[in-house]
Amino acid sequence: MSCRSILDDYYSCAGCGTHDPKGFQVRVGFKVDYLPGLWVPFQPLSLLGVLVPEASWNPGVIFVWTWRHTRNIYRRFGSDTVSVVPFISGAPTIYTRSMDVTKQVVTVGHKTGAFAKTDDMGRAFLFWGPSIVIAASQDQWRKHRRIAGPAFNNDTYQLVWNATHKVYSDMIHCEGWAEKGTMNIPRIQSLTTKFTLIIIATCGFGLPFSWGEPPSHDGQMSIQQCMEIITLRNTFAIAAPKWAWKLPLPWVRQTRQAFDTMRAFMNSHIQARREAINSSADDDTSKDILSLFVRASEHDEGKRRLDNEELIGNIFALLFAGHETTSHSLAATLGFLSLHPSIQDEIVEQVHEVTKGHDNSEITFDDYSKLDKALAAFYEGIRMFPAGVYLIREAKQDTVLNLSGIGEEPKMLPVKKGTHAVVDMIGVHYNPQYFPDPEEFKPSRWYANSTGNAYIADGEDHTGFSVGPRSCLGKKFATTEAVCFLVLLLRDWRVEPLLSVNVSTGEKETKEEWRERVMQAKMTLTMGVRDVPLTFTKRV
């Protein structure tokens, strides 16, 4: 007996596949062909799939990373699109690393309504309120996009560039780097996390915080502490019943304080902006994103206006996306640059060329478009450690996907309403079809004048900022901040791996051993690199 697709009754069709004890392989029949894949207890992105530790029988939330060398599902089944069929919990799912299939799901599916975001996959952000990040319907997305879109403009990016300059100077002064020739940083994220938080606090909320005075609310827990706790405890926040928040456990009390402080922080600043905008106190000159959001919402009418909950949802999404993801990407980029001193030198040489003739060799926002080597390094860091691992969509109606490659006979896959389609960005970014030598850090693949991959530099297909009409609004916000930070840092400092020493033998690890130990993924709300230890030596 054959099944029509994984989209018809998957509980019954799972049993008619073949069970491979080593890999839980299930081949499920289609009208035209079959789609090979995994037969597992839990959908890897379901709550149980996340909570149960990774094992041979439970792939885990980032199995596409942990299995990419040993049990790569695409190589294993000889297809860039495979199935993952759970037999206990979760929806039948299609995983793909094909950009052709991605466009059908994300771009065409958005326009036709065949695919849309799932409600449950946005729980971590929905906890704070509706936002552009999790809007499921096109009408909801357009409503939020109408308010959020205009806030991302050249005035905002100029503000980001100037703030990055100031915060970099504050960091060098407050951390005591100016007096030292060498700095060992056991965890570069301790700097990148604080840096990106202050930038988003300054440019996102208009708060005048400096390196020595991180943002807090009424003298309580700092916003940086809140974000770290929220990141670590997001699964508890999503899954825990109300009574669990009242348990007399220290970590529960700390979690509750972090969430309460963050909500109070956002509420107070939204209310202050509303009052200023609705009085003569608002002179229409504030360029921070919160002011632009609130002003646009207040000046809109009827159902298009965002209420407090919607504003908080959007601001939290901005705060989180502009903070954690950029911090992770900068840490990964610096980690890889530490292994490639020649690429550092190329970036510094370009900085000197661009600023030749400037007063005091000042680097300005007008130079941004000319600093493509720093931008390429950042893109490559994102490619190798994409913060957004998955683009998740749900079939909202019965439809079909064409799985055939270029020049092949059409291979149509029936997709039933309710099936999940997951674009695996790790799979895409490590797909040799798009990126030759995908394990190598090669920023040159992003250069606009690269003859082989010029289409990559100008297109949206292979970035870590999502694809299609719902790609990240904050892309240039992040790249402006990153380019400014990287060129300032690399102009002044040479970056090297901080190698560990074997206590027994006294021998230092090699750079290859350092990379194998350090440059590995970890997952919170988004994916990042493990703690990256680096040494900074002042350039003469």
Residue 29, both tokens: 């029949």
What whole-number distance in Å separates Cα of residue 319 and Cα of residue 201?
8
Neighbouring C-beta atoms of residue 451, cutoff 10 Å: 6
Q: Are 95 and 64 in contact (CB under 8 A)?
A: yes
Q: Are 428 and 434 in contact (CB under 8 A)?
A: yes
DSSP string computed for 484-530 = HHHHHHHHHEEEEE---B-TTT-PBPPHHHHHHHHS-EEESSSEEE-
Cβ neighbours of residue 250 under 8 Å, at least 6 residues apart? none
Provide the annotated binding site for heme: 472
Q: Are 46 and 90 in contact (CB under 8 A)?
A: yes
The torsion angles phi and psi of 528, rounded to 5 degrees, stand at -145, -175
Provide the annotated binding site: 472
Q: Let me know how long the chain is.
A: 540
HEC states along 48-82?
HHHHCCCECCECCCCHHHHCCCCCCHHHHHCCCEE
Q: Are 322 and 200 in contact (CB under 8 A)?
A: yes
Instruction: Report the relative pairing of strands 81-89 and 115-116 from DSSP bridges.
Output: unpaired
What whole-number distance in Å separates Cα of residue 133 and Cα of residue 239?
20
What whole-number distance in Å separates Cα of residue 40 and Cα of residue 34?
18
Burial of 81 (0-12, 13-18, 19+ CB in 10 A): buried
Q: Are 210 and 167 in contact (CB under 8 A)?
A: yes
Q: Are 428 and 105 in contact (CB under 8 A)?
A: no
Neighbouring C-beta atoms of residue 383, cutoff 10 Å: 27
Q: Are 263 and 257 in contact (CB under 8 A)?
A: no
Only one residue has tokens 């030198």, namely 345
Q: Are 416 and 398 in contact (CB under 8 A)?
A: yes
The residue among 35, 141, 16 whose CA lies nearest residue 419 is 35
Only one residue has tokens 């980690």, namely 335
Q: Which amino acid is at 178?
A: A
Q: Are 312 and 267 in contact (CB under 8 A)?
A: yes
Q: Are 425 and 68 in contact (CB under 8 A)?
A: no
